Amino acid sequence: MSEPIDAYIFDMDDLLVRSGSTWQKAEDTLLAKIGHQRTPELAIQYKGMNALDVAATIHRVLKPALPLAECQRILRDALLQNFSGPITAMDGAVDLVRQLRGRRPMAVASGSPLAAIRAALSRLEILDCFNQVITSETVPRGKPHPDVFLAAAKTMGTDPRRCLVLEDSLVGVRAAVAAGMRVACVPSGPSEEIRQLTPYVFGSLADVAKDASLMPSPR
């Protein structure tokens, strides 16, 4: 029998916020600086990682002359600038967050820089729904390692086994499984391997909200 759900941990990019193009523009800025273009084969290697790890993956694969630290600075600066533009919620995101507000502790555990996370959630008027907001830039290892999810559970005082992670990427699902947490996914890319890791795969967060097994039980 599954443990009851005592806390919810949300990813942000392409789960709460439609930010795929925001990230892609930042990645393209870096790629242009080093004389390369995006390819699906490259992008799939870093989807769901934080900005520092995305730049590190690009640097490792493409081996540019530009130092790693400079690649990380270019990507992160471009990302922060891009997040100052319009923000759009993913389908069902705002409604689900507001539905859960106050019923269980909630956190956001994202690979975006903290300033970008807070800015995006503020513009959607849901920042105050969350007990904790954490970026994987502040933990020793980013996704697919479990560190950011375990840190979120710790700050909420919740047993990881009693957390439900909501994710969109394979990297994020792997991190949640490694943390020993249940995970529901609204895939933003290929879902074959995701379906091997979790039975909870949905078309939108609105569909997640309809699954009674994942919603808070009365206390």
Span 152-161, pLDDT tens digits:
999 999 999 9
- The DSSP bridge partners found for residue 182 are 164
Strand partners, 17: 13, 89
Residue 48 within any structural domain of the chain: yes
Distance CA 119, CA 130 (A): 14
| Average of per-residue pLDDT values in the chain | 94
Does one domain contain both 169 and 76?
no
Q: Are 50 and 93 within one domain?
A: no
57 inside domain: yes
Q: How far apart are the first and last CA of the chain?
A: 18
Within-domain flag for 219 = no
| Domain final position from 62, 82, 102 | 82
Q: pLDDT tens, position by position, for the chain (219 residues)?
A: 478 899 999 999 999 999 999 999 999 999 999 999 999 899 989 988 999 999 999 999 999 999 999 999 999 999 999 998 888 999 999 999 999 999 999 999 999 999 999 999 999 999 999 999 999 999 999 999 999 999 999 999 999 999 999 999 999 999 999 999 999 999 998 889 999 999 999 999 999 999 999 998 765
Residue in this structure with the two tokens 């800025």, named with its chain if needed: 29
Task: Looking at the structure, tell me whether residues 48 and 130 fall in a common domain.
Answer: no
For residue 156, give the H/E element and its range: helix 147-156
pLDDT tens, residue by residue, 177-199: 999 999 999 999 888 999 999 99
Report the pLDDT value the prediction gives residue 165, as an integer from 0 to 100. 98
27, 44: one domain: yes
Token duo for residue 156? 């909420």
Range of the domain at 72: 20-82
